[in-house]
Amino acid sequence: MSSVDLNAVLARLTLEEKASLLAGADMWETVPVPEKGVPKVKTSDGPNGARGASFSGDVTAACFPAACCVASTFDVDLAHRIGAALAEETQTKGARCILAPTMCIHRHPLGGRNFESFSEDPYLTGKMASRVVAGCQDKGVAATIKHFAANEQETDRLSVDETISERALREIYLKPFEMAVKEANPMAVMTAYNQVNGHHADSNEFLLKKVLRGDWGWDGLVMSDWGGTNSTAASLNAGLDLEMPGPTRWRKPEAVVEAVKNGEVSEATIDQRVIRVLGFLKRLGCFEDGSIPDEKAINKPEHQSLIREAGSKGIVLLKNEKEILPLSRNKVAGKKIALLGYAKTGMAHGGGSASVNAHYRITPWDALHEALGKDVEFSYAKGAHTFRSLPCIDDGVVDLSGGKGFTHKIYEPGRSEPIEVEHGHPNSDISVLTFRTLDKSATLEGTYTAPTTDSYYFTVSGLGPSKLLIDDKLIYEQKENCRDAMGFLFGGAPAPEIKVPLVAGQQYKVNIFTSPPAPQEGVDLGIFAGRIGLRTGHMSAAEHDKDLLAEAVEVAKAADVAVVFTGHETFWETEGQDQQSFHLPKDGSQDRLISGVAAANPNTIVVNSTGVAVAMPWLNEIQALVHTWFPGQEVGNSIADILTGRQNPEGHLTCSFPKKLEDCPAYGNFPGEYDNGQLKVSYKEGVFVGYRHFDRLSPDKVNFPFGFGLSYTSFGFSDLSVRPAGDDFDVAVKVTNTGGVAGATAVQIYVGSASPSAEDPIKALAAFSKVSLQAGGAATVTLKVTGRDIASWDEKSSRWEVKQGEYKFMVGRSAADVALETKMAVGARSYDP
């Protein structure tokens, strides 16, 4: 580490210069003070790839499996390797800090950002996240654990107020962060958008002062989520070191100086915040080398291999009747296989800040052709309409200069003449992230030629008031601000579809207008204030209304095996909004596709790509079910490896898959209720999240439990023993591969009181380990269960307490299937927070 004296640097700075360091310079970089020797540093999203500065730029990046897929491997060594690879990717983007991992809890299946996080279980989340952090920082790149804390929903995420008991906070929502802090010492923590018990996370003294800095003794950098700072003095006093992004909204140097003069914040507090920023720069070597290299797209073969391996090992085999899988060459040679649904789409990642412009994306269609060669005859049909927004207009339009595209005009408020005119704008959308349109309105103008005579559906939606005119006739006007700005940002804001008859070859003048969101009393628009965004779509009625299901059923009838690929595209499962439905989109189309195909072909296999549990009304109609999560850029190869048997399935579910939404623990308390315009949600389920809740219900409430996963082989467990080791316990169990092929399984150790009270979960995951065995092979696995990890938070003593009594130590094939158990008397003990 650098030998620079941070106190000497601090002493050279004026109060105004100190203040300037406490907010970003732009979207990704911090503010330097070069004349005083203070460098800057660049950050980059995100959890499954280092995207770089642009959300949709030309510089490509490696797309790794989503956290839910990584956690499904139950392989901490693999998580460490992924962390190291993410660091290498971050460096190719000129950054030294990656905004990852995301480690909030899967509280509810409709959580829009669940895919980006690891699990419903805090222990699994903490262990996997710790290894990602360690792998990343071993390479000299700062990891940023996020979002601290309790960011379990996207609905009104900038302002929602969550009421959570301290026990639930400590045992469920803070525990993964505590584990990562104590086991891997991340260089940075990012605060959440939401409020926790009446206080925004960025100014929440309980979270930042009491817990993070106090109880855990952590000394790194606290940064806000992007646009997640809500005050000047309060956030400074609570411990928020860095407001992101820049330019600042709350920490203009003059505002900070004024707060100091008024006694709202002391200069000593400012110095504390600045020292954290300087220390961050020092740990990253910025004082010795403050350069920010140009972004590069470096497609490393070793990253390709790692992504394929991790993606396939995270895939979970949920059903396999009559051993229809694997579709090995000798089994399917000479047969016809129908690949339906999303077979030609690589469902690599979810939407939002986890999206990357991947180096490439392998589709299942291409991968299965490569894997099975000419031995099989493949057929295809889409089978279901799944679009959320109509595609933008990018063909058949010319701008006002006669070139391809639209003419984009930008206007100052109150002026009729544009201040900027750009010809050749590629499509009918305007990105909300375009800075030059801040506090301005804009138009897109062009001439569209209809390719066929038909009725066409048009949609228009804007961040602020917007309208669409065709041949100077108003087609649709959005008079109000978008009701879901975050949803708009990430591609999912709904808009009505307006039918317009057009004639082939005829030219139509198109004019689209949009303006910034209108100010609303009592509403802080945050990062959306003054910004414009426009999304315009169209589709012919022939395409829009086509009966895709009938076509798919006919294709399935003619095949020996039908494989239906289902799931969520990025605009259905995304940051910025929670899931619309527990059922696969759109409007039941994918559910109908599966049922229709299964009725036509008795050998139907479903391959589902979502980061969350979904309803499965067709489960008893199909032969096999494979759940892939979002496996990254090698998605097709990872899936093909499982389907053909190249890789024996070894993934285990990281969240429970309930049959009905009504049986979920947070049902009725998600996403909350409005009280005088303020969304409030009470975490009334307390510590009973995920399997902790379902353990108290009858087994028929879930389709598949936490920890479940099938294999093409089988495993037996025997010789369970538990031996005290001080305050901890050494648990040993013999694992045997009792099947005919090599494979791997996760040894899951659950612990719970032999006489649990109504206030306590029946059991909780306390240790796990991945073991690989050849056919007929056996190994004794020894795991450490710490006393701290079987303790509960006592709100009266404010300590972790293990109650005296008899405890069950269980080996589970899943949370609902205990293979072995033994009991042990455990004495009372307590631990500091």
**Tokens 């300037």 correspond to what residue?**
20
Q: Do residues 329 and 646 make contact, with C-beta atoms less than 8 angstroms apart?
A: no
Using DSSP, state whether 104 is helix, strand or coil.
Answer: coil
Report, in this order, helix, strand and coil percent for the chain, each rounded to 5: 25, 30, 45
Strand extents, DSSP E, 46-89: none
Q: Do residues 739 and 791 make contact, with C-beta atoms less than 8 angstroms apart?
A: no
Cα(772)–Cα(777) distance, integer angstroms:
9
Cα(89)–Cα(358) distance, integer angstroms:
12
Q: Is 760 a catalytic residue?
A: no
Q: Single out the catalytic residue among 121, 156, 161, 225.
A: 225
Count of CA atoms in the C-beta half-sphere (13 A) of 292 = 18
Beta-carbon contacts of 775 under 8 Å, excluding residues fewer than 6 positions away, are: 713, 737, 739, 740, 741, 742
Token duo for residue 404: 């391809």
Cα(103)–Cα(115) distance, integer angstroms:
10
Pairing of strands 473-478, 728-737: unpaired
Cα(510)–Cα(472) distance, integer angstroms:
8
CA angle centred on 184, ends 180 and 190, rounded to 5° = 55
Cis ω before 46 (30° cut-off from 0): yes
Strand extents, DSSP E, 280-439: 316-320, 336-341, 377-381, 397-398, 406-411, 420-425
Q: Do residues 157 and 143 make contact, with C-beta atoms less than 8 angstroms apart?
A: no
Phi and psi angles of residue 575, each rounded to the nearest 5 degrees, phi first: -55, 150
Phi and psi angles of residue 644, each rounded to the nearest 5 degrees, phi first: -95, -10
Phi-psi region of 718 (alpha: psi -120 to 50; beta: other; left: phi over 0): beta
Token duo for residue 180: 């990562």
Crossing angle for the helix pair 76-92 and 122-137, to the nearest 10 degrees = 40
* 3-class DSSP string for 351-409: ECCCCCCECCCCCHHHHHHHHHHHHCEEEEECCCCCCCCCCECCCCEECCCCCECEEEE
Cis ω before 617 (30° cut-off from 0): no
CA of 67: how far to CAs of 55, 140, 156, 163, 490, in Å?
20, 21, 23, 27, 19
Count of CA atoms in the C-beta half-sphere (13 A) of 636 = 18
Token duo for residue 315: 């895939």
Among 292, 276, 289, 287, residue whose Cα is nearest residue 243: 276
**Stretch (H or E) spanning 16:** helix 15-20
Cα(356)–Cα(50) distance, integer angstroms:
7
Token duo for residue 801: 């307490």
Phi and psi angles of residue 735, each rounded to the nearest 5 degrees, phi first: -115, 130
Cα(823)–Cα(816) distance, integer angstroms:
18
Q: Do residues 389 and 537 make contact, with C-beta atoms less than 8 angstroms apart?
A: yes
Q: Do residues 583 and 568 make contact, with C-beta atoms less than 8 angstroms apart?
A: no
Q: Do residues 245 and 227 make contact, with C-beta atoms less than 8 angstroms apart?
A: yes
| Exposure b/e, 714-726, CB count within 10 A at least 16 = b | ebebeebebeeee
Q: Please give the positions annotated as active site.
A: 225
